Chains A and B, each alone.
Chain A
Amino acid sequence: MRIVVDWDRCTGMGMCESLAPDVFEVDDDGSLIVHSEEVPEGQEGEVREAVASCPTEALSLEGE
């Protein structure tokens, strides 16, 4: 499963980071860093929650 970010939509709110911190992190300037585009094993649940909670609907999953 791969994470796809719509960079035009993401505004760096970090909701994703609070749910899946191993995968997402927001930098000091508000830009999103994706530590692993491939969803790490055992973290599918957290990443799905992160996708659903993003207030700009910037995240989606490929190959679910």
Chain B
Amino acid sequence: MPRLVVVGASLAGLRAVEAVRRDGFDGDVTLIGAEEHLPYDRPPLSKEYLSADECPDPRYREEETFAGDLEVELLLGTPASALDTTGRTVTVAHRAVPYDGLVIATGAHARTLPGTEGIAGVHTVRTLDDAQALRAALRGGARRLTVVGAGFIGSEVAAVGRKLGLEVTILEALETPLARAVGERMGRALTHLHRAQGTDVRTGVAVSEVLAEAGDAAERSSTHGRGRVTGVRLGDGTEVATDVLVVGIGARPTTDWLEGSGLTLDDGVVADETLAAADGVYVAGDVARWPNGLFSGVVDGPMRLEHWTSAADQGGRAARNAVDPASATAYETVPYFWSDWYDGRVQFVGVAPEDGADHIEVVAGDDTEGGPFTAIYRAGERIVGALAVDMPAEVMKYRRLIGGRKSWDDALELAEQRRAARAQKAAEKQREASS
């Protein structure tokens, strides 16, 4: 009986085991997770989980589902520590778990600021435990929140802080936040959203030191003498006082357990177009680096995404390929992510080419005041990306064009149709209002 083992019990791992069971795979399936928790949804952790008075339960499935419907052996709180691709085993707590097909879905973990470990009031947001601690900190009488890093997760936490009535400062090393993700011009446009809500965004600044005070006896002992954060010192000597410090400087793929396994590790586990990293070994989710055929010639080399949708899809694809390698199929996708800031939503599809700035056209709304607007991205003669702020009806229409490798002219034609459709709707509304 063939045996599928999945390492990493989060989104990609869950979707892996569900996909093969839905297809009727009747071999043994084992899902191994480092965290004690049942698989849970991460996007809410920097959004509703912090902001809502009633804290939502982010679990995807109940425990019974794994033993029952899915017939999956669930090993939680037990990280895999090694992989032997020759003997086809994964080591878990000194036990060798054999596999015929393996899916690696160990995701990513938050980067930290060196030297801040153990200081009370310093947080990252990656796990449910992180979010629980931050929720308590933000709601426990804190007045000032400082976020290091103006990326998407840091921006969401900043927005929650404002919603909860805190004074919020964002410190960003780059001159333009998010320039790598969405290009310079759109990075500036998104920064408006923060400033319009009273968040103090300081760009081109470096954090040189995290300041802490010893605190009372209990705190001294619980932090092993590291104390509680009081602020940060910047490169130019300025001090920013704070009660809570959130470090949002990105995530690193979790590949330490694969050192020496023979797999190619290069900011992720490197795989081919079918997500295969070695014989019988497939990768999925935030840990996976693979050539996305849809953008060959547009982006250099294989890509690694940290997006919900691709992690879910890759989980399914990797597992199907792992149980039936002879008919393995390639995985291609138009990347998609969303991010919720204040009461608005940012949505991005596709890719932003490195030299993106000259190839962006705003096709709806106005980006100079922070939105609503929609912008599209060009590479050569193709449309390759689209960004929308508070225009939920627009961005997915461009996703189809991008997936179909359509031309820039096709995209401009769609933009024209959409303009006409919006104008017609507005006119109808006005007629209704005046009659």
Report A's interface with B, CB cutoff 8 A.
Answer: 12-15, 17-18, 21, 25-30, 52-53, 55, 57
* CB-defined contacts of B347 to chain A, threshold 8 Å: 13-14
A15-B309, A30-B392 known; A55 vs B43 contact (CB < 8 Å) = yes
Contacting pair B316 A52 (CB below 8 A): yes
From residue B38, how far is it (CB to closest CB) to chain A in Å?
A: 15
Task: Decide: B393 and A55 in contact? CB cutoff 8 A.
Answer: no
Q: Check if A55 sits within 8 Å of B392, measured CB to CB.
A: no
Q: Which residues of A contact B338 (CB under 8 A)?
A: 13, 55
B393 touches A15 (CB 8 A): no
**How far is the CB of B105 from the nearest CB of chain A, in Å?**
16
Given A21-B400, A53-B313, A12–B308 Cβ distance below 8 Å?
Answer: no
Query: In whole angstroms, what is the CA distance A13 to B395 when docked?
Result: 9
- Docked Cα-Cα span, A9 to B170, in Å, equals 31
Do the beta carbons of A18 and B399 come within 8 Å of each other?
yes
**Per-position binary interface string of chain B over residues 357-392, scored 1 when its CB falls under 8 Å from any chain A CB and 0 otherwise:** 000000000000000000000000000000000011
Minimal beta-carbon separation of B57 from chain A (angstroms): 13
Chain A at the B interface: mostly helix, strand, loop or mixed? Answer: loop
Contacts of B393 in A (CB 8 A): 14, 25-28, 30
> Shortest CB–CB separation between residue A18 and chain B, in angstroms?
4
Distance, CA A53 to CA B311, complexed state (A): 10
Neighbouring A residues of B391 by C-beta, 8 Å: 28
18 contacts between A and B (CB under 8 A): A14-B392, A15-B309, A17-B396, A17-B397, A18-B334, A18-B336, A18-B397, A21-B397, A27-B392, A28-B422, A28-B425, A30-B392, A30-B393, A52-B15, A52-B313, A53-B313, A55-B43, A55-B308
Which of A28, A29, A30 gathers most chain B CB within 10 Å? A28
Contact with A along B303-344 (1 / 0, CB 8 A): 000001100110010000000000000000010101000000
Residues A13 and B312 in contact, CB atoms below 8 Å apart: no
Q: Are A57 and B308 in contact (CB under 8 A)?
A: no
B residues in contact with A14, CB < 8 Å: 347, 392-393, 395-396
Number of B interface residues in the complex (CB < 8 A): 25
CB distance from A2 to the nearest CB of B (A): 18
Using CB atoms, name the residue of chain B closest to A11.
B345
Shortest beta-carbon contacts, A-B, top 9: A14-B396, A30-B392, A18-B396, A18-B399, A17-B396, A28-B393, A55-B308, A12-B392, A26-B392
Instruction: Given A15-B309, A15-B396, A28-B425, answer yes or no on A57-B316 (Cβ-Cβ < 8 Å).
Output: no
Q: Which residues of A contact B422 (CB under 8 A)?
A: 28
For the A-B complex with A18-B397, A27-B393, A53-B312 known, give 4 more contacts whose Cβ atoms are closer than 8 Å: A12-B392, A18-B396, A52-B15, A55-B309
Q: Determine if A53 and B396 form an interchain contact, defined as CB atoms under 8 angstroms apart.
A: no
Interface residue? B60 (CB, 8 A): yes
Q: Which residues from chain B contact A13 at a C-beta distance below 8 Å?
A: 338, 347, 392, 396
Whether the pair A57, B60 counts as a contact (CB closer than 8 A) is: yes
Residue in chain B with minimal CB distance to A24: B396
Among the listed A12, A21, A52, which residue makes an inter-chain contact with B312, where contact means beta carbons less than 8 Å apart?
A: A52
| Distance in angstroms between the alpha carbons of A28 and B345 in the assembled complex | 13
Beyond A55-B308, A57-B60, is A28–B392 a contact (Cβ under 8 Å)?
A: yes
- Which B residues are CB-close (under 8 A) to A28? 391-393, 422, 425
Residues of chain A within 8 A of B345, CB atoms compared: 30
Q: How far is the CA of A26 from the CA of B309 in the complex (A)?
A: 18
